[in-house]
Amino acid sequence: MSDSTSSRARRPYRVTFVCTGNICRSPMAEHVLRKYVEDEGLPAVVDSSGTGGWHAGDPADHRTVRTLRRHGFTSDHSARRFHRGWFDDYDLVIALDESHRQELWALARDDRDRAKIRLLRSFDPAAGQDLDVPDPYYEDDEAFEHVMELIERAVPGILDEIRRGLKETAG
């Protein structure tokens, strides 16, 4: 098999967002970042998944869809669960809160996998100490709007990370 750098150079930079059930926070982050990536023409693929599989195959929560559409983003989605072997497929695995980061850390096979895991709000220089994106599932539309705001604040930092990763592989 060829070395990871040459095989990495032949494919787009890959990002996945991970929350609990993959119906609220992570699909929202997926659609927001995907639009920015497409607008910049970056060779990157963005998707999402959850730490649990009970919503597998379900669309995004109707409040997530409503929030995305209200802000001009797409919303087509089918929930799925993150699997250990997927670390090989991603350059960046972004957890939406500390519990997701811990679950991903436990799934990671080695330091290489763990190095790919980051918290979404760690990309927002103004985030402070609280890096969790709160779960809006049991809340109202205002909570979904707050999640959208937190995601939007992190996007510039994530785009910078993608650009850095693409430069490293271009050599």
The overall longest dimension of the chain from CA atoms, in Å, is 50
C-alpha 2/C-alpha 50 separation (Å) is 31
For the chain, the domain total comes to 1
* Residues 94 and 158: beta-carbon distance below 8 Å: yes
Which domain range does residue 46 map to?
Answer: 4-166
| pLDDT value, residue 11 | 82
The DSSP letter of residue 131 is -
Question: Does residue 171 fall inside a structural domain?
Answer: no
Q: Which residues does the annotation mark as catalytic?
A: 19, 25, 135
Report the CATH number that the domain containing residue 14 is assigned in CATH.
3.40.50.2300
Closest CA to 43 of 76, 9, 18, 16: 9
Question: Does residue 65 fall inside a structural domain?
Answer: yes
Question: Does residue 129 fall inside a structural domain?
Answer: yes
pLDDT tens for each residue of 132-142: 999 999 999 99
Give the model's confidence band at 171: pLDDT under 50 very low, under 70 low, under 90 confident, else very high: low
Three-state SS for 18?
strand
* Ranges of H-type helices in 41-130: 62-70, 98-107, 111-115
- Name the percent of the chain lying above pLDDT 90: 91
pLDDT tens for each residue of 31-58: 999 999 999 999 999 999 999 989 999 9
pTM exceeding the 0.75 threshold for the entire prediction: yes
pLDDT tens for each residue of 71-120: 999 999 999 999 999 999 999 999 999 999 999 999 999 999 999 999 99
